[in-house]
Structure 1
Amino acid sequence: MTHAHRLAAVRRSMAEQGVNAFIVPHDDEHLGEYIPPYAERLDWISGFTGSAGAAVVLADKAAVFVDGRYTVQVRHQCDPSLFDYHHLISEPYLDWLLAELKAGDTVGFDPKLHSQHWHQSAQAKLAAHNITLVPLASNLIDQHWQDRPTPSSHPALLLSQDYSGQHSEAKRSRIADTLAARHLDAQLLTQAEPINWLLNIRGRDIACLPVVLSFALLHQDGAVQLFADPAKFADLDLQAHCGQNVSLLAVEELAGELQALGKKQARVQLDPHTANAWSALMLSEAGAELVFAEDPCMLPKACKNPVEVNGSRAAHLRDGAAVSRFLAWLDRRLDEPHPEREDEGTLADKLQSLRAELPEFVEPSFSTISALGPNAAMCHYHHDNGTPRTLGQDAIYLVDSGGQYLDGTTDITRTVAVGEPDAEMRKLFTLVLKGHIDLACARFPAGTGGQQLDALARMPLWQQGYNFDHGTGHGVGHYLSVHEGPQRISPKGSMVALTTGMIVSNEPGYYREDGFGIRCENLQVVQPADIDGDIPVFEFETLTFVPFDRRLIDSHWLEDKHIGWLNQYHRQVWENISPRLEGDDLAWLEQATRPI
């Protein structure tokens, strides 16, 4: 079925339902960052495969909305005779709808694929123009998606306390106490990561995100009802693993349990930004009192306990050895005949194969960004979206990759010389690295949010008239999502205080369209600073140990303190990684970590 035929089929269903517009977000019912193949409805209707966006279908036209990462990709993937292209941020699709529709029209949406917060704000915005937002009982795309993938059937994993560091009963008791203090009967949990953290379970339902997709109700007494596919736990003793008062129900039973809470007029808390509108409507229509607040699992999940921090340290040492082996291999490959036989895809495959040799490795933590020359100027480039670029035609190569290990999640970016970088490239790389070092050295008082630290990583670039258009750092989970909140470091970032056990990335960059891209990324964990003073102070402990490419450094742009930090860091890389290497790889590391 072509995209034209798919649009026609959806428009027939729109007419049958009596709606003038239908919204297709890039989301599933859990509203997480990553979605499984069966939820790729935006791809089905439009052909767009990016990680963020939306489509809106009208009777006589349609449009796709994407952010700045995908303005080039969307034009390659979506037929311009079928779809107009718009910017998701500067041209919001609700504004576009208001310009296209008239008073009395209706907009259909799947309430399972939109948040409660979106529903409330969109409903008010459209109602102000006498346009009605209509929740549909079934998704109009699902009616026509004949070869739709089936949900994952991978069995769940019960994560040992040797890795998690805390029993589920202790976690549940801690969160339940906060519910009791607020006179709440239950908390609805809708995103997979907090549920998997709370119960110490993991899964393989989404590539790169080791979770069991599920919903849960946490009650005031600490009891949990887990709504997931029971077949994934068929050979597992969930009660013995999680402790008492954890029951497993099919996802289809969630509606009945929500209605039962409503009949009891229970006070139920949910996060309006992560809980879908369907669940909120189900509860409120049944008579429950809704209380809106941030998911209470998010902050304790972000503050890793000592076992999780130690596991993350161990995972990064293994990962650092694998990445160092890759970089050593790449340098040798450049010296061999016909290096041009390697391209962005084969380079990514080689790196993954080295990680896969590690027994604790489970899968990548995201799709590797393997980018040569001008492709590296696209922050979220993926070589599968076009023809992979080959070695031999560019001066620098950017590789952003990570691994999921049973004891931690890694994420690292290195920019390396694969040709002859010119003076400007070396200057810009050094300014990026300088900003990375300034942030890594930061000490900050308790209560400091990531937004307050962001400028440290940008200042060297700013002072020379440069900048980068993405956040400086995101939170990272423990054998969970490589992108974790609520902590982050960004100019529009979170003011949630950075505190002990939070893991964040440190990844300033520079990108020149049609030229090249540079990024320097390590992961860091927040720890109390061991200093005398009047106030509590925190600092960052670096977790990632892989050399930065000395061939790209112009020490003219560094101060003595930056050179001192870099030499000390490279000594740590040698001390931590050299015992894990041998032969040519070890010789490469010795050269790569020599002091400046």
Structure 2
Amino acid sequence: MTHASRLSAVRNSMAQQGLNAFIVPHDDEHLGEYIPPYAERLDWISGFNGSAGAAVVLADKAAVFVDGRYTVQVRHQCDPALFEYHHLIAEPYLDWLLAELAPGSRVGFDPRLHSHHWHKNAETRLAANSITLVPVTENLIDLHWHDRPVPGCHPALLLDQEYSGQHSEAKRSRIADTLAAGKINAQLLTQAEPINWLLNIRGRDIDCLPVVLSFALLHQNGAVQLFADPAKFEGLDLQLHCGQNVTLAPVGKLEAALQTLGEQGARVQLDPHTANAWSTLMLSQSGAKLVFAEDPCMLPKACKNPVEVNGSRAAHLRDGAAVCRFLAWLDRRVTEPNPEQEDEGTLADRLAAFRQQNPEFVEPSFNTISALGPNAAMCHYHHDNGTPRALGQDAIYLVDSGGQYLDGTTDITRTIAVDQPDDEMRKLFTLVLRGHIDLACARFPSGTGGLQLDALARMPLWQQGYNFDHGTGHGVGHYLSVHEGPQRISPKGSMVPLTTGMIVSNEPGYYREDGFGIRCENLQVVQPADTDGELPVFEFETLTLVPFDTRLVDVDWLEPKHVQWLNHYHKTVWERISPQLSGDDLTWLEQATRPL
């Protein structure tokens, strides 16, 4: 089916159900960032396959809404004859709906794919304009997606305490105590990452995200009802691994469990931003008393224990050596005959091959962004979405990649000179790197949130009239999601205090549409700083160990303190990575880490 015929089919279903609009978010029932192929409904209807966005279908028009990472990509992927383009943040789709629909209109939505918070907010706003929000029992996309992928059945992994650092019983007891203190009978957990963290399990249900897709109920006594495909645990002793009072049932049994809690009049806590509207409707309709609070697993999961931090350090050592081998190979390849035989796809494959030489490597932590020249202006570009651009026609190359290891998750971006960059490129790269260094050097008192630190990375760009339209840093899990909360560094970011054990990225950038893209990214872990003052103070320890390309540095745009930081960082990279390299790779590293 063409996208035009798909839109027509959905519109026919809308008409049959008396709907004037239908909302298609980029979400599955767990409302996580990454979704399995069978949930890619936004891609099916529009052709846009980025990790965030939504489409709204009306009887006579349709629109796609994306954030700043995808404003270029959406124009490449979606037919302008079928879809309008709007900024998800600056022009929210509810505002667009209110402007487009007349009073008395009916807006369809799938309650499994929207949070409780969204549902209540949307219901109130639309009702104020006499517009009704209508839950559908079967998603209108699914009615017509006849070759929709089926969910996979991948074996679960029981993560040893050697990697997790804490037994599931200890985690469950700690959180159950908070439930008991609040007179909460049960906590509904709906996102895969906190459930997998709580039970020390992992899986392969989504590419790059090592989780078992599941729901769970954590009770006041520490017992857990896990709702997942039992076939994934075949041959595994879940109770032996997790401790007593952990039961497993198919996902289809969740509805009955929620109804039972309702019939008992139980007080059930859930996060209104991550629990889907279907689950809250089920609970409230069956008589449960809903208590809304942030997912109690999120903060302890974000604060890595010493075993997890040490594991992350070890993972970054291995990962750094793999990336250095790739960059050394790339420098040699650029000077060899016929460099144009390489393209963004073959470069990404070569980098993956170097990572795969590590026996501890499991899979990438996200789809590699391998982007030459103007393609790098698309922050989340992927070469499979079009014809990969060949090496040999651009001055700079951006590669953003990462790995999942049993002891840690990595994420690194390097911008590399693959020809002769002009003075403006070198100036902009240096401003981005300067912002990266300023954030890396930050010391901040207890209670400081990422929102308060974001401007440090932007200031060098701001002062010269530039900026970038994405956050500066996201949280990173421990052999879990490469994007995790609640911590982040962003102008619209979190005020959750950054504290010991939290891992965040530091990735300012600059993007010129149809020109080039620049990003400098390391991962950092928050640690207590040693000071003589009265306040507890924190600082960042850099985990990533790969040189920045000094051929792109214009020292006229750096202060002495930035040069000192860069030289010290490169000295550390040499000391930590050189024992893992030999031959031409070692020679390359020696040259790449020479002081400015």
Q: TM-score range by the shorter chain?
A: over 0.9
Q: Match of 2:460, as an amino acid?
A: P
- 1:31-42 to 2 correspondence within 5 Å? 31-42=31-42
- 1:266-285 to 2 correspondence within 5 Å? 266-285=266-285
Gaps (5+ residues) in structure 2? Answer: none
Deviations 1:346-394 (A, max 9, x none): 1111001110111111111111111111211221111122221111111
Map of 1:300 onto structure 2 = 300
Give the Cα–Cα distance (whole angstroms) in 1 for the partners of residues 144 and 513 of structure 2: 40
Mean Cα deviation higher: 237-246 or 144-153? 144-153
- 1:192-591 to 2 correspondence within 5 Å? 192-591=192-591
CA separation of 1:509 and 1:293: change in aligned 2, threshold 3 A: same
Give the Cα–Cα distance (whole angstroms) in 2 for the partners of residues 261 and 338 of structure 1: 67
Give the Cα–Cα distance (whole angstroms) in 2 for the partners of residues 285 and 426 of structure 1: 61
Give the Cα–Cα distance (whole angstroms) in 2 for the partners of residues 256 and 360 of structure 1: 41
Map of 2:102 onto structure 1 = 102
Map of 2:152 onto structure 1 = 152
SS of 1:123 mapped into structure 2: helix
Map of 1:51 onto structure 2 = 51
Deviation at 1:399? Answer: 0.7
Give the Cα–Cα distance (whole angstroms) in 2 for the partners of residues 529 and 263 of structure 1: 51
Deviation at 1:510? Answer: 1.7
Deviation at 1:100? Answer: 2.8
In 1, are the aligned partners of 2:321 and 2:581 still within 8 Å (CA)?
yes
SS of 1:9 mapped into structure 2: helix
Give the Cα–Cα distance (whole angstroms) in 1 for the partners of residues 55 and 512 of structure 2: 29
Deviation at 1:66? Answer: 2.3
Give the Cα–Cα distance (whole angstroms) in 2 for the partners of residues 146 and 379 of structure 1: 32
Give the Cα–Cα distance (whole angstroms) in 2 for the partners of residues 473 and 560 of structure 1: 25
- 1:111-190 to 2 correspondence within 5 Å? 111-190=111-190
Give the Cα–Cα distance (whole angstroms) in 2 for the partners of residues 302 and 457 of structure 1: 22
Deviations 1:44-94 (A, max 9, x none): 222222222222222333322223333333333333343333332233222
Mean Cα deviation higher: 441-450 or 376-385? 376-385
Deviations 1:534-591 (A, max 9, x none): 1111111110110111211122222222222111111111111011111110111111
Map of 1:84 onto structure 2 = 84
Deviations 1:150-173 (A, max 9, x none): 111110000010000000000000
CA separation of 1:74 and 1:535: change in aligned 2, threshold 3 A: closer
Give the Cα–Cα distance (whole angstroms) in 2 for the partners of residues 375 and 461 of structure 1: 21
CA separation of 1:28 and 1:439: change in aligned 2, threshold 3 A: same
- How many residue pairs get aligned? The number is 596
Deviations 1:411-453 (A, max 9, x none): 0011111111122222221221111111111111111111111
Deviations 1:274-304 (A, max 9, x none): 0000000000000001011110100000000
Give the Cα–Cα distance (whole angstroms) in 1 for the partners of residues 525 and 105 of structure 2: 51
CA separation of 1:5 and 1:463: change in aligned 2, threshold 3 A: closer
Deviation at 1:343? Answer: 0.9
Give the Cα–Cα distance (whole angstroms) in 2 for the partners of residues 529 and 62 of structure 1: 52
Q: Match of 1:66, as an amino acid?
A: V
Deviation at 1:179? Answer: 0.5
CA separation of 1:318 and 1:515: change in aligned 2, threshold 3 A: same
Gaps (5+ residues) in structure 1? Answer: none
CA separation of 1:392 and 1:584: change in aligned 2, threshold 3 A: same
Mean Cα deviation higher: 552-561 or 164-173? 552-561
Give the Cα–Cα distance (whole angstroms) in 2 for the partners of residues 561 and 134 of structure 1: 58
CA separation of 1:75 and 1:445: change in aligned 2, threshold 3 A: closer
Map of 2:61 onto structure 1 = 61
Give the Cα–Cα distance (whole angstroms) in 2 for the partners of residues 55 and 595 of structure 1: 50
Give the Cα–Cα distance (whole angstroms) in 2 for the partners of residues 550 and 101 of structure 1: 54
Give the Cα–Cα distance (whole angstroms) in 2 for the partners of residues 247 and 56 of structure 1: 40
Deviation at 1:43? Answer: 1.5
CA separation of 1:223 and 1:131: change in aligned 2, threshold 3 A: same
Give the Cα–Cα distance (whole angstroms) in 2 for the partners of residues 222 and 36 of structure 1: 30
Give the Cα–Cα distance (whole angstroms) in 2 for the partners of residues 417 and 81 of structure 1: 38
SS of 1:370 mapped into structure 2: strand
Mean Cα deviation higher: 144-153 or 454-463? 454-463
Give the Cα–Cα distance (whole angstroms) in 2 for the partners of residues 128 and 510 of structure 1: 41
Q: Match of 1:363, as an amino acid?
A: E
SS of 1:120 mapped into structure 2: helix
